[in-house]
Amino acid sequence: MKRTKIEGEAKIEQERTARGPREPGHVQVASSELTRDINRDVVLRRIRSLQPVSRVDVARASGLQPSTVSSIVEQLLRERWIREGAVVKTARGRRPTLLSLNDDLVILAADIRPSQAVVALLDLNGRFLERQLVPLSRDPERALGMLVSVMQGFRQKHASYAFEGVGISLPGRVDTQTGQLLLAPNLPWSQFDIQKYLERELALEVHLENAANAALLSELWFGTIEGIRNVVLLTVSEGLGTAILAEGRLVTGRRGLAGEFGHICVDPEGPLCSCGARGCWEVFASSRAALRYHQQLAPAAPAVTYLELMALAIDGDAAANQALEQQARCLGQGMHLLNAVLSPDLILIASDITAFSERHMASIERECQAGMMAGEGPRLQIVGDGEATRLRGAAAVALQRHSGYFRATHPH
């Protein structure tokens, strides 16, 4: 009875995912090819989470037929995504070999911010083999040339590995159909074809994704949110970014523009935002907002970076603590709006905010829970440091390119 239930749930999920996004007046029919991709995702996720694991145990955990699992495993072995290891001793019958992800397959990743980028080399398990900070020119070709130089250096140093592709995390929205950067108020590169340039210079397949979406993919691929179907992930840095998981599906909207909650107006008389509007949530709750609060509270103090502001707070500086407290309250107030609109089970926070004190986190939670219309508010959870999460997310973007999610949200 239990196995029948699992198989039924797997089938429902396959049918739901295979339908993909719907445009007005259009119904997308599930295809056998897309269903195979979804099954492939299921098998790969089970191998990743259970490794080393036998084919029999993958079938049992996934709810798929053993013959289906065996066929997908053979495909993954040919593509070098997985490898066979030790043979398990059994009392009788054929001795199964254990499967695990192939550590020799690696991904180049970059998390691009307005003035800097972090370039990394990761394996399929999300382990960092290299990581380097790169200052960026505002000129996109010059900046990307520096990234290419660092990535080529990684390839030469680790020539024994098989390079699967490149994932790029960006502080803006990426067109799901063209791969072009559509909207990036803090990064003036929207007229430059980032993907085409990098693919020409690196001779590798390149995929771009919004930083918040990438971070959410990181949690889905490498993290611990499996089984939670309604999640909002919030990235807090120079700006604010949000990604939405609704009923188990990453919501991208028309041309990938869904989720720009950072640019929802919360005060029409507020400060000017980089998007050109006034009073966006971002201008009250981002790291730049905290620096502005500190400057207002201590006008005679020297200018500081966000990390320096947090260090001042740790050392007991009253103005620094007050600035961070104001940012925390504004973050929580915006999360209350997220809860009213989306009603998630969980809000993930990926940012430098992880260095906040318990007092500031309590302020965020208090504002988020304030005035709940019914029931309890969402659970809040920090997801590591924001930089590592975005980098793993960029790698996950490359890993997802053959997946059911990718096929559904990147129609040809």
Q: How far apart are CA 264 and CA 280, in angstroms?
A: 5
Range among 89-93, 182-186, 214-218 with highest mean pLDDT value: 214-218
Taking residues 321-350, what's their average pLDDT? Answer: 91
Question: Does the pLDDT at position 185 exceed 90?
Answer: no
Residue 68's Cα: distance from chain center in Å? 29
- Determine the Cα–Cα distance for residues 131 and 298; give it in Å rounded to an integer: 36
7: phi then psi, degrees, rounded to nearest 5: -65, -40
Q: What's the pLDDT score for residue 93?
A: 57
Q: Where do the domains of the chain lie, and which CATH numbers do they carry?
A: 2-101 (1.10.10.10), 105-217+390-409 (3.30.420.40), 224-382 (3.30.420.40)
pLDDT score of 6 more than 80: no
The answer on pLDDT for 231 being more than 70 is yes
Helix intervals (H) in 124-210: 140-157, 194-202
pTM comes to 0.79
pLDDT at 72: 92
25 band by pLDDT with thresholds 50, 70 and 90: very low
State residue 242's pLDDT score: 92
SS3 percent helix, strand, coil of the chain, rounded to 5, is 45, 20, 35
Q: What confidence category does residue 354 fall into, taking pLDDT thresholds of 50, 70 and 90?
A: low
Task: Specify the residue for token string 């191998």.
Answer: 47
